[in-house]
Amino acid sequence: MDALEQKAAAVRLQVMETALAAGKGHVPPAFSWVEIGVTLFHGGVLRVRPGDPAWLARDRFILSKGHGCLTLYALLADLGFFPSSELATFARDGSRIAGHPDPLLPGVEVVSGSLGHGLGLAAGLALSARHEGAEWIAATVLGDGECHEGSIWEAAAFASHHRLGNLLAIVDRNRLGATTSTERSSALEPFADRWRAVGWDVREVDGHDIGALQTACDDLPRGRSGPPRVVIAETIKGKGVSFMESSESWHHRMPRGSEIDEARSQLVHALEGVS
Protein backbone atom coordinates (compact mmCIF):
# COMPACT_ATOMS: atom_id res chain seq x y z
CA MET A 1 0.00 0.00 0.00
CA ASP A 2 2.93 2.32 0.61
CA ALA A 3 3.55 2.55 -3.15
CA LEU A 4 0.01 3.82 -3.74
CA GLU A 5 0.22 6.22 -0.80
CA GLN A 6 3.49 7.53 -2.23
CA LYS A 7 1.77 7.93 -5.58
CA ALA A 8 -0.98 9.97 -3.89
CA ALA A 9 1.58 12.24 -2.23
CA ALA A 10 3.37 12.73 -5.56
CA VAL A 11 0.10 13.55 -7.31
CA ARG A 12 -0.72 16.24 -4.74
CA LEU A 13 2.66 17.86 -5.21
CA GLN A 14 2.26 17.74 -9.00
CA VAL A 15 -1.19 19.32 -8.74
CA MET A 16 0.21 22.18 -6.72
CA GLU A 17 3.19 22.78 -9.01
CA THR A 18 0.97 22.70 -12.12
CA ALA A 19 -1.42 25.24 -10.61
CA LEU A 20 1.37 27.50 -9.39
CA ALA A 21 2.98 27.52 -12.83
CA ALA A 22 -0.32 28.55 -14.40
CA GLY A 23 -1.36 30.90 -11.63
CA LYS A 24 -4.79 29.31 -11.54
CA GLY A 25 -6.69 26.11 -10.85
CA HIS A 26 -9.05 24.52 -8.35
CA VAL A 27 -6.46 23.01 -6.02
CA PRO A 28 -8.52 22.05 -2.90
CA PRO A 29 -11.22 20.24 -4.95
CA ALA A 30 -8.42 18.38 -6.75
CA PHE A 31 -6.74 17.39 -3.48
CA SER A 32 -9.87 15.82 -1.98
CA TRP A 33 -10.17 13.07 -4.59
CA VAL A 34 -6.47 12.17 -4.99
CA GLU A 35 -6.71 8.79 -3.22
CA ILE A 36 -9.89 8.01 -5.17
CA GLY A 37 -8.06 8.70 -8.43
CA VAL A 38 -5.00 6.70 -7.42
CA THR A 39 -7.22 3.76 -6.49
CA LEU A 40 -9.03 3.88 -9.83
CA PHE A 41 -6.03 4.35 -12.11
CA HIS A 42 -3.16 2.77 -10.16
CA GLY A 43 -5.02 0.39 -7.86
CA GLY A 44 -6.33 -1.96 -10.53
CA VAL A 45 -9.94 -0.83 -10.68
CA LEU A 46 -9.97 0.65 -14.19
CA ARG A 47 -8.73 -1.22 -17.24
CA VAL A 48 -7.00 1.24 -19.54
CA ARG A 49 -4.12 1.25 -22.03
CA PRO A 50 -2.16 4.51 -22.05
CA GLY A 51 -0.51 3.56 -25.34
CA ASP A 52 -3.92 2.87 -26.91
CA PRO A 53 -6.38 5.40 -25.43
CA ALA A 54 -9.13 4.37 -27.87
CA TRP A 55 -8.90 0.65 -26.96
CA LEU A 56 -12.46 -0.60 -27.42
CA ALA A 57 -12.43 -2.76 -24.30
CA ARG A 58 -11.24 0.06 -22.02
CA ASP A 59 -13.22 1.14 -19.01
CA ARG A 60 -14.74 4.59 -19.46
CA PHE A 61 -14.07 7.23 -16.82
CA ILE A 62 -15.84 10.56 -16.40
CA LEU A 63 -14.74 13.20 -13.93
CA SER A 64 -18.11 14.79 -13.30
CA LYS A 65 -16.56 17.34 -10.92
CA GLY A 66 -14.46 18.61 -13.79
CA HIS A 67 -13.11 21.57 -11.85
CA GLY A 68 -10.98 19.02 -9.94
CA CYS A 69 -9.21 18.12 -13.19
CA LEU A 70 -5.66 18.80 -12.01
CA THR A 71 -5.65 15.42 -10.27
CA LEU A 72 -6.86 13.68 -13.41
CA TYR A 73 -4.16 15.36 -15.49
CA ALA A 74 -1.44 14.35 -13.04
CA LEU A 75 -2.65 10.75 -13.09
CA LEU A 76 -2.93 10.52 -16.88
CA ALA A 77 0.52 12.05 -17.37
CA ASP A 78 2.03 9.68 -14.82
CA LEU A 79 0.53 6.71 -16.66
CA GLY A 80 1.89 7.93 -19.98
CA PHE A 81 -1.25 9.06 -21.78
CA PHE A 82 0.69 12.20 -22.70
CA PRO A 83 4.14 13.61 -21.80
CA SER A 84 4.41 14.98 -18.27
CA SER A 85 6.11 18.05 -19.72
CA GLU A 86 2.76 19.04 -21.25
CA LEU A 87 1.39 19.76 -17.77
CA ALA A 88 3.31 23.03 -17.95
CA THR A 89 0.82 24.21 -20.58
CA PHE A 90 -2.19 23.92 -18.25
CA ALA A 91 -4.82 26.58 -18.98
CA ARG A 92 -2.71 28.31 -21.62
CA ASP A 93 -4.01 29.33 -25.04
CA GLY A 94 -4.12 26.35 -27.40
CA SER A 95 -3.32 23.78 -24.71
CA ARG A 96 -5.02 20.38 -24.64
CA ILE A 97 -4.85 20.61 -20.85
CA ALA A 98 -7.76 22.92 -20.20
CA GLY A 99 -9.45 24.28 -17.10
CA HIS A 100 -11.98 21.45 -17.45
CA PRO A 101 -11.40 18.03 -19.06
CA ASP A 102 -11.66 17.89 -22.85
CA PRO A 103 -11.43 14.74 -25.03
CA LEU A 104 -8.74 16.43 -27.11
CA LEU A 105 -6.51 15.06 -24.34
CA PRO A 106 -5.83 11.30 -24.47
CA GLY A 107 -7.55 9.52 -21.60
CA VAL A 108 -10.45 11.98 -21.38
CA GLU A 109 -13.78 10.64 -22.64
CA VAL A 110 -16.05 13.71 -22.55
CA VAL A 111 -16.07 17.41 -21.80
CA SER A 112 -17.06 17.64 -18.15
CA GLY A 113 -17.46 20.13 -15.36
CA SER A 114 -20.93 21.43 -16.12
CA LEU A 115 -22.05 19.96 -12.84
CA GLY A 116 -24.84 17.45 -12.59
CA HIS A 117 -24.19 15.71 -15.91
CA GLY A 118 -21.48 13.13 -15.27
CA LEU A 119 -23.71 10.44 -13.79
CA GLY A 120 -26.17 10.62 -16.70
CA LEU A 121 -23.33 10.36 -19.21
CA ALA A 122 -21.81 7.41 -17.37
CA ALA A 123 -25.19 5.68 -17.15
CA GLY A 124 -25.65 6.07 -20.90
CA LEU A 125 -22.22 4.59 -21.53
CA ALA A 126 -22.96 1.67 -19.21
CA LEU A 127 -26.23 0.98 -21.02
CA SER A 128 -24.44 1.04 -24.37
CA ALA A 129 -21.96 -1.54 -23.07
CA ARG A 130 -24.90 -3.71 -22.05
CA HIS A 131 -26.40 -3.49 -25.54
CA GLU A 132 -23.06 -4.37 -27.11
CA GLY A 133 -22.49 -7.33 -24.80
CA ALA A 134 -19.24 -5.70 -23.68
CA GLU A 135 -17.62 -6.19 -20.27
CA TRP A 136 -16.15 -2.74 -19.74
CA ILE A 137 -17.49 -0.56 -16.94
CA ALA A 138 -18.36 3.11 -16.77
CA ALA A 139 -17.08 4.96 -13.71
CA THR A 140 -17.60 8.52 -12.59
CA VAL A 141 -16.42 10.69 -9.72
CA LEU A 142 -19.05 13.15 -8.50
CA GLY A 143 -18.71 16.10 -6.19
CA ASP A 144 -21.19 16.08 -3.32
CA GLY A 145 -22.12 19.68 -4.11
CA GLU A 146 -23.40 18.68 -7.53
CA CYS A 147 -25.61 16.08 -5.86
CA HIS A 148 -27.99 18.95 -5.13
CA GLU A 149 -28.83 18.81 -8.86
CA GLY A 150 -32.05 17.03 -9.81
CA SER A 151 -30.32 15.57 -12.87
CA ILE A 152 -28.18 13.41 -10.58
CA TRP A 153 -31.22 11.75 -9.07
CA GLU A 154 -32.92 11.29 -12.43
CA ALA A 155 -29.80 9.50 -13.65
CA ALA A 156 -29.64 7.46 -10.45
CA ALA A 157 -33.22 6.24 -10.95
CA PHE A 158 -32.51 5.48 -14.63
CA ALA A 159 -29.43 3.42 -13.77
CA SER A 160 -31.25 1.44 -11.11
CA HIS A 161 -34.22 0.79 -13.40
CA HIS A 162 -31.91 -0.65 -16.07
CA ARG A 163 -29.89 -2.58 -13.45
CA LEU A 164 -26.61 -1.15 -14.64
CA GLY A 165 -24.28 -3.25 -12.54
CA ASN A 166 -21.45 -2.09 -14.81
CA LEU A 167 -21.81 1.46 -13.48
CA LEU A 168 -19.66 2.75 -10.62
CA ALA A 169 -20.17 6.17 -9.06
CA ILE A 170 -17.85 7.54 -6.39
CA VAL A 171 -18.97 10.62 -4.52
CA ASP A 172 -16.22 12.88 -3.20
CA ARG A 173 -18.04 13.67 0.04
CA ASN A 174 -15.96 16.59 1.30
CA ARG A 175 -19.10 18.38 2.53
CA LEU A 176 -18.17 21.71 0.95
CA GLY A 177 -19.45 23.48 -2.14
CA ALA A 178 -17.76 26.48 -3.70
CA THR A 179 -18.58 28.88 -0.87
CA THR A 180 -20.29 27.04 1.98
CA SER A 181 -21.07 23.59 3.35
CA THR A 182 -23.37 21.28 1.43
CA GLU A 183 -25.59 20.87 4.46
CA ARG A 184 -26.01 24.62 4.94
CA SER A 185 -27.01 25.30 1.34
CA SER A 186 -29.37 22.32 0.99
CA ALA A 187 -28.94 19.29 3.22
CA LEU A 188 -28.01 16.03 1.49
CA GLU A 189 -28.31 13.83 4.57
CA PRO A 190 -29.41 11.11 4.98
CA PHE A 191 -27.21 10.81 1.89
CA ALA A 192 -26.58 7.05 1.78
CA ASP A 193 -30.26 6.33 2.35
CA ARG A 194 -31.17 8.45 -0.67
CA TRP A 195 -29.08 6.19 -2.89
CA ARG A 196 -30.47 3.06 -1.27
CA ALA A 197 -34.00 4.35 -1.81
CA VAL A 198 -33.48 4.36 -5.58
CA GLY A 199 -31.96 0.88 -5.60
CA TRP A 200 -28.19 1.37 -5.51
CA ASP A 201 -25.57 -0.81 -3.86
CA VAL A 202 -24.09 1.67 -1.36
CA ARG A 203 -20.62 1.51 0.18
CA GLU A 204 -19.41 4.13 2.68
CA VAL A 205 -15.66 4.55 3.22
CA ASP A 206 -12.88 6.87 4.29
CA GLY A 207 -12.03 8.51 0.98
CA HIS A 208 -8.35 8.84 1.90
CA ASP A 209 -7.94 5.13 2.76
CA ILE A 210 -6.77 3.46 -0.44
CA GLY A 211 -7.28 -0.05 0.94
CA ALA A 212 -10.87 0.72 1.90
CA LEU A 213 -11.50 2.29 -1.51
CA GLN A 214 -10.11 -0.78 -3.29
CA THR A 215 -12.37 -3.06 -1.27
CA ALA A 216 -15.39 -0.86 -2.00
CA CYS A 217 -14.66 -1.00 -5.74
CA ASP A 218 -13.89 -4.73 -5.82
CA ASP A 219 -15.86 -7.39 -7.72
CA LEU A 220 -17.82 -5.11 -10.02
CA PRO A 221 -20.27 -7.23 -12.03
CA ARG A 222 -18.80 -6.69 -15.47
CA GLY A 223 -21.20 -7.67 -18.21
CA ARG A 224 -23.93 -8.65 -15.75
CA SER A 225 -27.12 -7.02 -14.58
CA GLY A 226 -27.36 -5.84 -11.03
CA PRO A 227 -27.74 -2.75 -8.90
CA PRO A 228 -25.35 0.06 -9.80
CA ARG A 229 -22.78 0.80 -7.12
CA VAL A 230 -22.08 4.07 -5.38
CA VAL A 231 -19.12 4.58 -3.07
CA ILE A 232 -19.63 7.50 -0.69
CA ALA A 233 -16.07 8.53 0.09
CA GLU A 234 -15.74 10.81 3.10
CA THR A 235 -12.95 13.22 2.24
CA ILE A 236 -11.31 16.46 3.32
CA LYS A 237 -11.37 19.32 0.86
CA GLY A 238 -7.82 20.65 0.52
CA LYS A 239 -6.35 17.44 1.99
CA GLY A 240 -2.59 17.71 2.40
CA VAL A 241 -2.24 21.44 3.06
CA SER A 242 -3.33 22.32 6.58
CA PHE A 243 -4.60 25.85 5.93
CA MET A 244 -6.72 24.67 3.00
CA GLU A 245 -8.29 21.69 4.74
CA SER A 246 -12.07 21.90 5.29
CA SER A 247 -12.00 25.65 4.69
CA GLU A 248 -14.88 27.49 3.04
CA SER A 249 -12.35 30.08 1.84
CA TRP A 250 -10.42 27.67 -0.36
CA HIS A 251 -12.06 26.57 -3.59
CA HIS A 252 -10.55 28.45 -6.53
CA ARG A 253 -8.21 30.68 -4.53
CA MET A 254 -4.47 30.24 -5.14
CA PRO A 255 -1.82 30.46 -2.39
CA ARG A 256 0.21 33.66 -2.28
CA GLY A 257 3.50 34.76 -0.76
CA SER A 258 4.51 32.69 2.26
CA GLU A 259 1.49 30.42 1.69
CA ILE A 260 3.25 29.01 -1.38
CA ASP A 261 6.33 28.03 0.59
CA GLU A 262 4.26 26.54 3.38
CA ALA A 263 2.05 24.52 1.02
CA ARG A 264 5.02 23.21 -0.91
CA SER A 265 6.85 22.34 2.31
CA GLN A 266 3.91 20.33 3.64
CA LEU A 267 3.47 18.43 0.38
CA VAL A 268 7.17 17.63 0.04
CA HIS A 269 7.28 16.49 3.67
CA ALA A 270 4.30 14.18 3.06
CA LEU A 271 6.01 12.70 -0.01
CA GLU A 272 9.26 12.13 1.85
CA GLY A 273 7.35 10.57 4.72
CA VAL A 274 6.03 7.73 2.56
CA SER A 275 9.13 7.34 0.35
Class of domain 2-273: alpha beta
Can you give the pLDDT of all 275 residues of the chain as single tens digits?
A: 699 999 999 999 999 999 999 999 999 999 999 999 999 999 999 999 999 999 999 999 999 999 999 999 999 999 999 999 999 999 999 999 999 999 999 999 999 999 999 999 999 999 999 999 999 999 999 999 999 999 999 999 999 999 999 999 999 999 999 999 999 999 999 999 999 999 999 999 999 999 999 999 998 988 889 999 999 999 999 999 999 999 999 999 999 999 999 999 999 999 998 76
3-state secondary structure the chain: CHHHHHHHHHHHHHHHHHHHHHCCCCHHHHHHCHHHHHHHHHCCCCCCCCCCCCCCCCCEEEECCHHHHHHHHHHHHHHCCCCHHHHHHCCCCCCCCCCCCCCCCCCCCCCCCCCCCHHHHHHHHHHHHHHHCCCCCEEEEEECHHHHCHHHHHHHHHHHHCCCCCEEEEEEECCECCCCEHHHHHCCCCHHHHHHHCCCEEEEEECCCHHHHHHHCCCCCCCCCCCCEEEEEECCCCCCCCCCCCCCCCCCCCCCCHHHHHHHHHHHHHHHHCC
**pLDDT at 224 (0 to 100):** 85
Taking the domains of the chain in order of start, what are their residue ranges? 2-273
pLDDT score for 275: 65
pLDDT at res. 1 = 60
pLDDT at 221: 87
pLDDT, residue 274, reads 79
Q: What is the pTM of this model?
A: 0.97
